[in-house]
């Protein structure tokens, strides 16, 4: 399960990749153009706005099904979504709740490479040409308590879809990989098409479009 990826706030990189983004990306420019995103932390997403598509900052982890909370007073959130047929997720599959998650690379845990006394390392994947790409995500406004030490508050939350792994990811993580969008047609369909069309994008990216960068033990 992907619970770590590297995103970017480089407005020009995002603008060059997709002609659908508005000039609002400028407000997210940063001197540090890439950064790692972890569950329950903040990352940029692209979604439909009132005057076009907008880039906003949201918190990674959609609301959990009530059955999984087991009475806890806080909800850490669900980061990866596979079963889009579930009634819990169907409410957020319309275009107004779909989003793009921009990134430069993503990690999958690699237990097979673990050395004695060390943590499970992460295997990092990126586009073969080093370019920016997107996860197919969903988002929602939410009011509640995210962590035990936090107070209830208003949040905007997101997560991304997963699918069966391709031949490159499967040896590392045989259960799933993120749904990755790299072409303008797929990006437009994910943001705007009816669900019966958009759902066809929940498929693995062909392995030739990805490379395995490295395997690293997280410090």
What confidence score (pLDDT) does residue 23 get?
47
Average pLDDT value for residue range 73-92: 95
What confidence score (pLDDT) does residue 129 get?
83
**Complete domains list, the chain, with CATH:** 5-216 (3.90.1680.10)
pLDDT band at 206 (very low <50, low <70, confident <90, very high): very high
pTM: 0.85
pLDDT band at 124 (very low <50, low <70, confident <90, very high): very high
Query: From CA 117, how far away is CA 178, in angstroms rounded?
Result: 29
Sign of CA dihedral 28, 146, 41, 109: negative
Q: Exposure pattern of 82-98 as b/e (b: 16+ CB <10 Å)?
A: bebeeebbeebbeeebb
Average pLDDT value for residue range 209-217: 86
Question: Which pLDDT tens digit goes with each residue over 1-48?
Answer: 566 667 766 666 666 655 555 444 444 444 456 789 999 999 999 898
Query: From CA 219, how far away is CA 211, in angstroms rounded?
Result: 23
What confidence score (pLDDT) does residue 28 get?
46
């Amino acid at each position: 399960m992907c619970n770590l990826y590297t995103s970017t706030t480089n407005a020009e990189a995002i603008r060059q990749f997709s002609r659908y983004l508005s000039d609002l990306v400028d407000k997210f420019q940063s001197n540090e153009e890439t950064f790692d995103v972890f569950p329950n932390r903040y990352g940029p997403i692209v979604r439909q706005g009132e005057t076009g598509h907008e880039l906003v900052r949201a918190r990674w982890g959609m609301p959990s099904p009530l059955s999984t909370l087991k009475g806890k007073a806080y909800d850490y959130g669900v980061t990866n979504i596979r079963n889009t047929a579930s009634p819990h997720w169907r409410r957020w599959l319309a275009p107004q709740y779909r989003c793009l998650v921009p990134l430069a690379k993503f990690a999958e845990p690699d237990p097979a490479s673990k050395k004695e006394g060390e943590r499970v390392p992460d295997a990092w994947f990126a586009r073969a040409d080093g370019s920016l790409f997107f996860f197919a995500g969903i988002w929602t406004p939410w009011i509640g308590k995210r962590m035990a030490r936090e107070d209830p508050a208003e949040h905007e939350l997101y997560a991304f879809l997963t699918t069966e792994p391709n031949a490159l990811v499967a040896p590392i993580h045989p259960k799933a990989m993120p749904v990755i969008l790299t072409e303008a047609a797929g990006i437009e369909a994910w943001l705007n098409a009816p669900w019966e069309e958009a759902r066809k994008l929940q498929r693995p990216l062909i392995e030739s479009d990805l490379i395995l960068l490295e395997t690293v033990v997280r410090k």
